[in-house]
């Protein structure tokens, strides 16, 4: 049975509108800018005391920003700063020397690579004690969601790990020669 010409045109028009609406409704994710939320930031480190017992501590002050595309996922333009003066460590271990290192620890990312559905690496420049060297951070994307309280902002949660060698940076005061650094945080979307 053949439809009347007018009915056929109407059906074609309705289908065309539905296709256009579906295309417009499809999410077009673009990288958004995020800033680390200082209220949801944990910066911990571990060093070895003369190769005997591990010593753990925490940096209390840090800040950072980056661009993140949830659809890729990809992270770009990452900058992170840790203030050693805000370090909390058991004084008897000697790792309190890290707090006296003076200059800020900064990382500026240059290149990122996805290694799994929610993991990746960011390579860039790490500066400590006034010395800048290449470094790679291992990242894990924990989750993202609209914050349910107060500001109702969109948040993403990441976990970052790296190792810092005492020899590479001219002596950080870290006993055992190496410090394992872990940063867990939420970041607020500020644009995009």
User: For 76, what's the count of Cα atoms within 13 Å in the CB-facing half-sphere?
Assistant: 10
Over the stretch 68-101, which tens digit does the pLDDT of each residue have? 988 878 888 999 999 877 677 766 544 445 554 5
Give me the phi and psi of 93, to 5 degrees please: -85, -20
Residues above pLDDT 70, as percent of the chain: 70
* pLDDT category of residue 156 using cuts at 50, 70 and 90: very high
Is 104's pLDDT higher than 60? yes
Helices (H) and strands (E) in the chain, counts: 1, 10
Q: What is the CATH number of domain 29-191?
A: 2.40.128.110
Instruction: Give the start-to-end residue ranges of the domains of the chain.
Output: 29-191
Cα separation of 54 and 47, whole Å? 6
Cα–Cα distance list, 38 to 3, 35, 169, 175, 186 (Å): 65, 9, 27, 28, 8
């Amino acid at each position: 049975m053949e439809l009347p010409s007018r009915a056929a045109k109407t059906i074609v028009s309705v289908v065309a509108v539905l296709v256009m609406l579906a295309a417009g409704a499809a999410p077009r994710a673009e990288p958004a800018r995020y800033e680390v939320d200082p209220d949801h930031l944990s910066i911990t480190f571990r060093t070895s005391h003369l190769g005997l017992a591990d010593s753990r501590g925490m940096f209390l002050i840090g800040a950072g920003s980056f661009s993140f595309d949830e659809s890729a996922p990809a992270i770009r333009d990452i900058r992170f700063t840790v203030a050693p003066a805000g370090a909390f460590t058991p004084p008897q271990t000697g790792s309190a020397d890290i707090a006296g290192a003076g200059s800020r620890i900064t990382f500026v990312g240059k290149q990122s690579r996805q290694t799994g559905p929610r993991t990746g690496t960011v390579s860039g420049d790490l500066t400590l004690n006034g010395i800048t060297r290449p470094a790679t951070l291992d990242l894990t994307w924990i989750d993202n969601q609209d914050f349910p309280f107060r500001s109702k902002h969109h948040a993403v949660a990441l976990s970052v790990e790296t190792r810092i060698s005492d020899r590479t940076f001219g002596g950080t005061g870290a006993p055992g020669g190496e410090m394992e650094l872990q940063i867990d945080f939420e970041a607020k979307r500020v644009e995009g």
